[in-house]
Copies of this chain bind each other. A is one copy, B any other.
Amino acid sequence: MKRLCLVLCTATGLLAALPASAQFQKPEDAIKYRKAAFTVMANHFGRIGAMANGKAPFDAKAAAENAALVAELASLPGTAFGPGTDKGETRAKPEIWTESDKFKAGMSKMVEETARLNAAARTGDLAQLKTAFGAAAQTCKSCHDNFRKE
């Protein structure tokens, strides 16, 4: 019985992991994908940041477009930290896998705060955008500090 349970649990675990990791043929594909998703996201997040920090004129329409894109992209990289993606062309720290719950919570927080940023951007109000941008930026920093090598 114990053995059956172990087999079933392992199988269930594998199945649960399948949808994400099955999207990548090789670990290096997943690494390339997640880095690319972060690159595009960071660019558009930075465009909002320039407005939030007064380095670019506030353009409500552009802010909303960028925030919508950031919110959509935010959910992508988290699918690409499957088994075997800890080695290679990556600055990912081992803690991503050894402190997996903490990492997943950090990723969820990012998804949550970028959704808030999207909502804030749609109001067209710069003060709300600034607040939401700061909170979202904090989730980037937190994960970089804990889970990304220099």
Contacts and interface: CB of A to CB of B under 8 A. Distances in A.
- A-B pairs, top 8 by smallest CB distance, nearest first, are A36-B39, A36-B36, A36-B40, A33-B43, A37-B40, A32-B39, A23-B47, A40-B40
19 contacts: A23-B43, A23-B47, A24-B43, A29-B43, A32-B39, A33-B39, A33-B40, A33-B43, A35-B36, A36-B36, A36-B37, A36-B39, A36-B40, A37-B40, A40-B40, A40-B73, A40-B76, A69-B72, A72-B72
Q: How many copies does the complex hold?
A: 2
A32 B46 CA distance: 15
Contacts of A47: 23
Nearest to A22: B56
Nearest to A76: B40
Interface residues of A, number: 16
Nearest to A80: B43
Interface in A70-86: 72-73, 76
Contacts of A72: 69, 72
A114 B127 CA distance: 36
A69 B69 CA distance: 10
A6 to B, nearest CB: 28
Contacts of A39: 32-33, 36
Contacts of A69: 72
A24 B43 CA distance: 8
